[in-house]
Structure 1
Amino acid sequence: MSLKSTQFRVIDLFCGCGGLSLGLHNAGYNIIAGFDNWKFAIDLYQKNFKHPSFLIDLGNLEGDFSIFKDFNPDIIVGGPPCQDFSSAGKRDETLGRGDLTLVFAEIIATIQPQFLIMENVPRFIKTQKYQQAKAILKSANYGLSEIILDASLCGVPQTRKRFFWIGEFRGKDDQFQLDLKANLSPKPLTIRDYFNQIGKPLDIDHYYRHPRSYKRRGIFSIDQPSPTIRSVNRPIPKTYQPHPGDSALISPNIRPLTTLERSYIQTFPEDFIFTGTKTHLEQMIANAVPVKLAEYVGYCLTEYQEKLNC
């Protein structure tokens, strides 16, 4: 028998400050627990969710996954650390954080929830860890649908591209085709349109985003989606030289986006509680799964379930 999304019991293994949990909650899922190894993230998570959350290092469980089994989840979700795979990182799978993706797969294989949802950077599909994790899940009889989604087509004013695995426990039949493209927007969502939509119109037309190097542009228009939100958020340096790709010349009307504005670009709602140091908040917001992106995936899975119930 197929469950409705409101009946699904969901645990989030890399909950961070809660983007994936909140998005799935908004899509009608019953989030029952969150887990993370970063105290600052767990502290913030606990301020925003009523269900229990736990400070835990999944890399030190040594195969004992009983804490997750006790929750009897129907869905296990998570975004394992992506720094070892990311184009913004060192692209070195031997650094250790990529192993948590394998732990995630092993937890799925052991607990055997009906569904799994995993998020990572697009480059993940080019890694050995991708092949290893996929082999673990396939051996555990999971059918997998996978896609790289552009968040700007999913209700997020940001061209953040992310890889998703959605898996279903299928027994011997591992064919699982979930349509994750049917509801994509025909055009990207701009910052201006989204901020007007949420009743927070900006007082600027262009903003500064600190580039990774001065070979890259730093000035962007709010009439486009934001590039991927990163943890670095600095004032315009006095030494900044105009770049041919800049959307406008440096002027007193151009500033960096605030931490709160960046949280809106990640589609966190106005009433989401953010406390802590600016450095920690910027990092947690940048690491989060955009709320509306998680909602989009959740609604796609709900539609799949509704078709099964017809």
Structure 2
Amino acid sequence: MKIVDLFCGCGGLSLGLERAGFEILWACDNWDKAVNVYADNFSHRVEEMDVSNVFKTANKIRPLGVDGIVGGPPCQDFSTAGKRSEGDRANLTRSFADVIAAIRPTFFIMENVARAKSSRAYAEASDFLRSQDYGLTEVTLNASLCGVPQRRKRFFCIGIRDLPDQFLEDVIQRNLAAKEMTVRDYMSDEIDFEFYYRHPRNYNRRAVYTIDEPAATVRGVNRPVPSGYPGHRADAAPIDQSIRALSTSERSRLQTFPRGFTWDAAKTHLELMIGNAVPVELGHYVGRCLMEGLGCAASHDGKIASFG
């Protein structure tokens, strides 16, 4: 199944979908630093491009003959970590939908923060996509139940042409793990500590975590323990000299990037692109569920002829 990845970032979703068996023909992102990291790690073509230019983007994709289009439109304007109003980047959700309508692939995957589902931009885009004959499976996933040692919640809209809404819901729910994955579960042979520091948005929140729980959401900033950190009653341990913030490499592992992934950029840029990435194993999970669902649809009544 041939796909393209729009808003590809450093490649978390691409790598996960490759592991699920999809073939990526082309990818793009509007941030040159992420494009460079992506290019270092994948053999297919990646370009710096603004997807808001729907005509240009569609013309790049059309000759490739893809089966699917995937991507995560930039989420800052929907994030609970930022402002509550919807700004210009929210318009890229509609741009993504317009590209889908122009190409009319068999399926698409759109990923975003959990709050995006209740946004005006998503409501408009989803109504439009339904009008283009796509059945939408809308689901918010806890990454720690999908092979990721991180309690990261992300919203997915998976569209399949000429099939009913929520077609994939049973497959997705049935394959979830029975228990959350912890940091120890995933990284036990890589780490020699029990507790670590993750800088909170404010000191009303905890900051010290144990490796025997899923990590909190990996964000785009990574700060050391401040000298004046007051501690929090919910911290997993009191601050002492042994407790530190995770390294850039360790944070990439929480996002389930492989140990051999190449990270060649300034540290500040790397922290941001790692925090913005789709965890590789979350992309892998969604990809496997989509593969299973497409196979079922093809075997039932041939609606998805290209997979029959």
Work out the CA distance in 1 between the residues paired with 2:18 and 2:178. Answer: 25
1:248 partner SS:
coil
Residue type matched to 1:242 in 2? G
Task: Call closer, same or farther: CA 1:109–1:309 in 2, change over 3 Å.
Answer: closer
2:74 match = 81
Matched, 1:22 2:15: yes
Q: In 2, distance between residues paired with 1:142 and 1:90?
A: 31
2:216 paired residue among 202, 227, 237:
227
How far did 1:305 drift?
2.5
TM-score by length of 2: 0.94
What whole-Å deviation, never above 9, does each CA across 1:175-231 have from its counterpart, x for those lacking one?
Answer: 4511211110111000011102xx42x111110111111221111111100000011
Aligned sequence identity (%) = 49
**2:32 aligned residue (17, 25, 39):** 39
C-alpha distance in 2 between matches for 1:26 and 1:192: 23
Query: Which residue of structure 1 lines up, in the alignment, with residue 305 of structure 2?
Result: none
Measure, in 2, the Cα distance between the counterparts of 1:47 and 1:211. 32
Residue 68 of structure 1, CA deviation: 1.5
Question: Which AA in structure 2 matches 1:183?
Answer: N
In structure 2, how many angstroms separate the alpha carbons of the residues matched to 1:12 and 1:254? Answer: 38
Match of 2:272 in 1: 283
Q: How many residues align?
A: 297
Rounded to whole Å, the distance in 2 between the matches of 1:43 and 1:242 is 39
The SS at the match of 1:204 is: coil
**Residue 265 of structure 1: aligned partner:** 254
Note if contact 1:83-1:91 (Cα within 8 Å) is conserved in structure 2.
no
Distance of 2:52 and 2:159 partners within structure 1: 22
Any idea what the Cα deviations from partners look like across 1:147-200, whole Å, max 9, x if unmatched? Answer: 000000000000000000111111xx644511211110111000011102xx42
- After TM superposition, the score normalised by the length of structure 1 is 0.93
- Is the Cα contact below 8 Å between 1:12 and 1:76 reproduced in 2? yes
Amino acid aligned to 2:295: E
Task: Give the RMSD, CA atoms, in angstroms.
Answer: 1.3
- The separation in 1 between residues aligned to 2:140 and 2:9, in whole angstroms, is 21
Q: Name structure 2 gaps, 5 residues minimum.
A: 300-308
Given residue 92 of structure 1, which amino acid in structure 2 is its aligned partner? S
Distance in 2, matches of 1:110 and 1:252, equals: 57
Match of 1:96 among 88, 92, 103: 88
User: 1:62, CA displacement in angstroms?
Assistant: 5.5
Q: Tell me the alpha carbon deviations over residues 78-122 of structure 1, each in whole angstroms, 9 at most, x when there is no partner.
A: 0001111111110211x2000000000010011000000010111
Aligned to 1:239: 228
Counterpart of 2:65 (choices 64, 72, 92) is 72
Distance 1:128 1:155 in 2: 31
Query: Secondary structure at the residue paired with 2:3?
Result: strand
**Distance in 1 between the 2:166 and 2:147 partners?**
25
Q: Look up the equivalent residue of 1:71 and give its one-letter code.
A: L
Q: Distance in 1 between matches of 2:54 and 2:99?
A: 10
| 2: CA distance, partners of 1:250 / 1:127 | 39
- Distance in 1, Cα, partners of 2:154 & 2:115: 9
Alignment of 1:188 with 2:214, yes or no, is: no
Paired amino acid for 1:252: Q
What is the SS of the residue equivalent to 1:34?
A: strand
- Give, in angstroms, the shift of residue 65 of structure 1: 2.0
Q: Which residue of 2 aligns with 1:300?
A: 289
Query: Structure 1, residues 113-138: CA drift from partner, whole Å, max 9, x if none?
Result: 00000101111111111110011101
